Structure 1
């Protein structure tokens, strides 16, 4: 209690916090110590991760032969009924970035004094050119075209620029389709001979293909509260069709990012930012907050995949490699559990301890600075247990195609150990020439294709919060309504939030990675009918 009072008085004295501020923080469920720590981080900064080298094939990334691929897929099929499986899909947030270049067009275009081609030349907005050329191939084209013909009786007689302008306006207008403010999950992504499917439906389809066992396909979406009704509506309309075709019962569930994981925003002077009403601006802490949601899962094995990474085609190839990752996890998990049971045997022999040490260093890619030769038997066993008794993640990695985002690297930890981590560019000192060179020499990219083992060798659920690296958050620069500010984001879900897991990287083909970052990605072959 005394520490809480000290924090409260310190925040009031240093930052001018009022009783109303404390009431606001309490209502969000945020501990005062958390706010205090975040403000300290803004003042002191965050240490950058030190890259040792990129993870590459045969040095951090396993490349499986065709025989091995089929072997691990078969292992998964044979043993999956022993496990409760689940698919976990981060799906909150609006699709505003997907349509950002169209929003900019509506703001900047001068329809009374220039043509759309003139605008494109003036702004170098090549994305708009691609959009307009492929417009009739978008799965939402007919719906918007129909709406325009209903709204404007003379629409067909309009000149091309006017049609295109109103098409984009109808697509984004808050009183019309309002795609900018809707979540990606409910947007039309794929056209199957007139049947339009959303990412939600594509994920349901995938779930019954590879993350189902014992007659049940569990799928969990993390969402914003205001979008739950729309998600539930789509699932309600289509769930039974997928169940009939697959023979599995689909069990959907939802969770929100808890307000207690919100973080405080500050101005350029590192003082708390306030809105027009004088309230503190507390904003979502980024996808790292979802470790809390994942921690609520009671499943044994969880597949993680982003909401926009779905394909119109290649469901068989995508399912195969999910099964491969799952089969590899099952196989590896058994080895880890067997080794832990051996270490619990008081009569374990020295040569068995050495074999376990070799397994940790070579099969798990865990490299420590510990000098095992100086350890007594009991200390060595304790140390090896600490390295093995962790949640496991097997991560698919695709060849680098210059996509924005993180990748697989060997990093040097503060204690000198070397570990495999998924690292984002914002975590690295890119002004350091050596670090920049290592980052740019990465051969692979993180597509967020992760299979997680959430239970220990006794069948007990890990507390995933125990394996977060609290020092690996992000300070990000933001802008809203012309105001620049800084925000703190929690250690990312597949970055710092899983930093202390056992981590394995396996190369998977590009066909498994089909993100939709801009609306134009829907024109790519894997999002178009074959």
Structure 2
């Protein structure tokens, strides 16, 4: 039970009391598992484009893009500290642990292959000998301190987007710069403008702004486009209340309730404020050097073209239903839903009257739409594509995370293990309706697809709650198309040594 003082604190934070009370109830009741009906597979939920289909989709996108308001939406909030977990651990254990630490040995053996090598060398020269001279086990701790700590390059506290990832001789680029280049390749919309939107942490926004101010003039001159760059932060009002292990509100030592960031699902509120016809979503660290960008560019244009085509057919069907509900308009809408969008109607659909069928299909078609790239499952973590039964009996395509599924159920586990693909956060979204008005994206999420995790604060255990994930529960009631894309389009950097892989060299 919340006290009056706690209710006042919640009100002061701008959070609806009802929302917080619902979160507390979620802790007590738990979130229900998502019941998956089948794994989406090639030919049954996942499209594979032939060369001809790929070319057609790319051409359709390129023809339409100059008249579209396009945005490249890049979640970039996270600090890079997890990238350096192994290096921090080595510093704590001491250099005597090197013999048992293959990760750190690989790091130092290939240190001259990192794009930040020259920057690190210059920093080391300020405090003594240069990097080649210092490259011995006795100096490893000093080298890592200069790399990671704020007195040096400060990489341990910077966001991923501002670390140098790729070397091009005299030009070494951060992910922010790589997203500029990508944007110029497939994100040029109205008025030859590339709109980039980065979601950032408050403590990092100034450094992002400085980097953008530094690189934008040269990028605009190089590509002959205008870059419009803006930022948003995860809203404090999307934070969720924490509880103790008895599901009572977690009260900090100063008497305040503890609220925590609610995961990437909180970014739905940021996406909901974007004014655009198409929004491409891609994580900050999933970038490659120029020599490998062509495939990514081709498939980004292709999924954009597929979305525009599907959207156009859905819009035409909706407008026809508005004019008249007839056998012809209902049949056309049915074909768009089942063939273009790949939805599966409930068995009871045939028992509905014509007007009821028209209303049912109108509701199904008038939703936000997304096309999601799917790569073959190689063991990487990520949401899988599954068929899920809706309350109305229809089947829809959704992305589901492991934590949403009851893997103790043999049938559910078998379906999960049958999944052949996963989504590497590769989406293009249509967020306006057939009248040109923005959808309220908050109305198309499934609030019962959140997560509960166990954390700690000041040595005390607590339970935290995450909102429905941005590309799974937050988009549960969108129309979704899944398309296989090449594995080369997915190259995340989770650890610093991932930058030594050939795709990042």
State how far apart, in whole Å, the 2-side matches of 1:248 and 1:500 are: 36
- The answer to whether structure 1 residue 152 and structure 2 residue 136 are counterparts is no
CA contact (8 A) 2:121 2:131 kept: no
**What SS does structure 1 have at the residue aligned with 2:228?**
strand
Separation (CA, whole Å) in 2 of partners of 1:338 and 1:81: 22
From 143, 158, 161, give the equivalent of 1:167: 143
Give the 3-state SS of the residue equivalent to 2:184 in structure 1.
Answer: helix
Q: Do the aligned partners of 1:422 and 1:495 also contact (CA within 8 Å) in 2? A: yes
Match of 1:272 among 249, 261, 264: 249
The answer for the alignment partner of 1:97 in structure 2 is 82
1:41 corresponding residue in structure 2: 26
* 2:307 alignment counterpart: 329
Q: Which residue of 2 aligns with 1:228?
A: 205
For the residues of structure 1 that align with 2:413 and 2:348, how far apart are their CA atoms? 32
Flag the 1:432–1:279 CA change in 2: closer, same or farther, 3 A.
same
SS at match of 1:486: strand
1:4-43 alignment runs, 5 A limit: 10-12=1-3, 19=5, 21-43=6-28
Q: Is the 8 A contact 1:86 1:299 kept in 2?
A: yes
Distance 2:485 2:94 in 1: 46
**Alignment TM-score, normalising by the size of structure 2:** 0.95
1 CA distance for matches of 2:130 and 2:486?
A: 49
- 2:443 paired with 1:461: no
| 1:116 matched to 2:98 | yes
Q: Distance in 2 between matches of 1:507 and 1:213?
A: 25
**Whole-Å separation in 1 of the counterparts to 2:429 and 2:157:** 32
Partner of 2:268: 291
* SS state at 2:195 partner: strand
Flag the 1:77–1:492 CA change in 2: closer, same or farther, 3 A.
Answer: same
How far apart are 1:155 and its partner, in Å?
Answer: 7.5
Matches of 2:296 and 2:160, distance apart in 1: 20
* CA displacement at 1:204 relative to structure 2: 0.8
Q: CA deviation at 1:153?
A: 4.5
Q: Match for residue 15 of structure 1? A: none
Q: Structure 1 stretch 174-183 or stretch 206-215: which is displaced more?
A: 174-183
Q: Which residue of 1 aligns with 2:503?
A: 526
User: Given the superposition, is the C-alpha separation of residues 523 and 156 from structure 1 closer, same or farther in structure 2, using an over 3 Å criterion?
Assistant: closer
Mapped pair 1:448 → 2:425: yes
Is 1:179 paired with 2:163? no
* SS across alignment from 2:28: helix
The answer on whether the counterparts of 1:115 and 1:161 sit within 8 Å (CA) in structure 2 is: no
8 A Cα contact 1:400 1:443, kept in partner: yes
CA distance in 1, matches of 2:130, 2:194: 49
The answer as to whether partners of 1:149 and 1:156 remain within 8 angstroms in 2 is: no
Q: Give the whole-Å Cα distance in 2 for the aligned partners of 1:293 and 1:384.
A: 29
In structure 1, C-alpha distance between the alignment counterparts of 2:494 and 2:134, rounded to whole Å: 32
| Structure 1 position 245 matched with structure 2 position 227 | no
SS in 2 for 1:344: helix
Query: Deviation at 1:325?
Result: 0.6
Contact 2:201 2:234 in 1 (8 A): yes
- Pick which of 507-516 and 98-107 moved more: 98-107
Structure 1 pair 181–155 and aligned structure 2 pair: CA distance change class (3 A): closer
SS at match of 2:281: strand
Q: CA deviation at 1:202?
A: 0.5
Superposition RMSD in Å: 1.8
Aligned equivalents of 1:515 and 1:224: distance in 2?
A: 20
Structure 2 residue runs of 5 or longer lacking an equivalent are none
Deviations 1:156-212 (CA, angstroms, capped at 9, x unpaired):
665711222222222222433222221111111111103221111110111111111
Partners of 1:405 and 1:446 within 8 A in 2:
yes
Aligned counterparts of 2:131 and 2:162: Cα–Cα separation in 1: 28
Conserved in 1, the CA contact under 8 Å of 2:317 and 2:336? no
Pair 1:512 & 2:489 matched: yes
Using the alignment, how far apart are the partners of 1:161 and 1:206 within structure 2?
A: 40
Per-residue deviation at 1:413?
A: 3.7
Helix, strand or coil at the partner of 1:491: coil
Check the 8 A contact 1:265/1:272 in 2, yes or no.
Answer: yes
Distance 1:315 1:27 in 2: 47
1:400 Cα deviation after fit? 1.1
Counterparts in 2 of 1:113-512, with a 5 A limit? Answer: 114-117=96-99, 120=100, 125-153=101-129, 160-214=136-190, 215-312=192-289, 313-346=291-324, 348-369=325-346, 371-480=348-457, 482-512=459-489
Determine if contact 1:336/1:388 at 8 Å carries over to the other structure. Answer: yes
Q: How far apart, CA to CA, are the structure 2 residues paired with 1:370 and 1:470? A: 26
- Determine helix, strand or coil for the equivalent of 1:458: coil
Q: For the Cα contact (< 8 Å) 2:383–2:399, is it kept in 1?
A: yes
Deviates more, 1:41-50 or 1:308-317: 308-317
CA pair 352-157 structure 1, distance change in 2 beyond 3 A? closer
Aligned partners of 1:343, 1:158: CA distance in 2, in Å? 73
Answer with 512-521 or 430-439: which moved more. Answer: 430-439
CA distance in 2, matches of 1:91, 1:189: 15
